[in-house]
């Protein structure tokens, strides 16, 4: 089993500077898809909507590649399941269910919470949150990356 910290992504190492002066590995270039693929037939209607929205967004910024499609499918399916669980939760009468045996948490609430948690985790691999975009160095402020904006405002202090 591997111990210790996970290695930093190549882009992050480039941004922070190569303090160890060791050669950085050459990035592997894979051509991005030029148009959003159709959602697989096996996806639910909700998941298909998520697929179309996210795929189109990723294609527009040149981030969707063929090897990302299984991750996109899993993400879309999780969001679709979370939406279904939320609908079922509303129909079944709330977060807590009372019976003669006692009070217990609605199972649809548990399903919803688990699917949302997994979707958020998986969505970070697709750059689906502002934090994930910043981590990937792709967050933009008025057309500049966050790093460029900070350097413009405060000066680039790495080279001083």
Q: Domain segments of the chain: what residues?
A: 40-128
| Euclidean distance between CA atoms 85 and 111, whole angstroms | 6
- In Å, what is the CA distance from 11 to each residue of 15, 111, 135, 138? 6, 36, 9, 10
The predicted structure's pLDDT at residue 35: 93
The predicted structure's pLDDT at residue 22: 84
101-160: pLDDT as tens digits:
888 888 899 999 999 999 999 988 887 777 777 766 665 555 556 666 667 766 655 554
33-67: pLDDT as tens digits:
999 999 999 999 999 999 999 999 888 888 888 99
- 36 in helix, strand or coil? coil
């Amino acid at each position: 089993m591997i111990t210790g910290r996970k290695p930093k992504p190549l882009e992050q190492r480039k941004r922070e500077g190569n303090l160890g002066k060791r050669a950085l590995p050459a990035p592997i270039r894979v051509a991005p898809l030029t148009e959003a693929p159709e959602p697989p037939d096996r996806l639910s209607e909700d998941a298909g909507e998520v697929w179309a929205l996210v795929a189109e967004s990723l294609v527009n910024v040149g981030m969707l590649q063929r090897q990302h499609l299984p991750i996109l499918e899993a993400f879309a399916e999780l969001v679709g399941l979370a939406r279904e669980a939320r609908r079922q939760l509303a129909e079944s009468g709330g977060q807590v269910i009372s019976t003669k045996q006692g009070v217990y948490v609605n199972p649809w609430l548990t399903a919803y919470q688990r699917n949302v948690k997994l979707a958020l985790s998986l969505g970070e691999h697709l750059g689906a949150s502002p934090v994930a975009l910043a981590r990937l160095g792709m967050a933009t402020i008025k057309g500049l990356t966050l790093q460029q904006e900070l350097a413009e405002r405060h000066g680039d202090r790495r080279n001083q």
